[in-house]
Chains A and B, each alone.
Chain A
């Protein structure tokens, strides 16, 4: 079974702090994704990566950056956390060469910015 592991389940940070959310997958997937999930707004794509050091902006990249130095690891960075970034963050991965490849999700990180 594919395993996608997010380093923290719950995180509390202060406004202005730099925050790192880490995600690791163990199935050699090419694609990795960061979503945020908010009540009433559904899942929104922040960034995705299709290869090491490659990234594409999603629907809501403002205030975020990402890093993918190794194939298995994809980090989401909040340069200066703000209260409107309080949310559930979900990491996912998928194979890159199949039309039917599903997304595999981690358990999420619930981030609170105070």
Chain B
């Protein structure tokens, strides 16, 4: 069965410093992995997705994530935080081939301090 763990419920960084949001997953197969961002009172926006083509995935707004099979991790990083990055971030895993079965992590709230 699939599961997703986001190790930090809240991360706080200063503007201009690096961001690291951690995600570990459990999957029986080769999963697809996604990161989403949610700003207050908005829907979830896709940041990036891993689909086995490359282990380092670049997304929008300067975010990237690295798939590490040996560690079952898919951590999200950004070299320099911006105030507009303050939001909730969700790691999501999917195993099926029909775009139907998604398991969400509990989310990490990112605060960016001036």
Interface residues of A (CB under 8 A from B): 4, 6, 9, 29-31, 42-43, 48, 50, 88, 90, 92, 94-108, 110
Contacts and interface: CB of A to CB of B under 8 A. Distances in A.
A106 B43 contact: yes
B41 A110 contact: yes
Contacts of A99: 32, 51, 94, 96-97, 99
Given A31-B98, A102-B46, A42 B104 contact: yes
Interface residues of B, number: 24
21 contacts: A9-B41, A31-B98, A42-B104, A42-B106, A42-B107, A43-B104, A48-B100, A92-B44, A96-B98, A96-B99, A97-B99, A99-B94, A99-B96, A99-B97, A99-B99, A100-B49, A102-B32, A102-B34, A103-B34, A103-B102, A110-B41
Interface of B: 32, 34, 36, 41-46, 49, 51, 90, 92, 94, 96-100, 102, 104-107
B43 A108 contact: yes
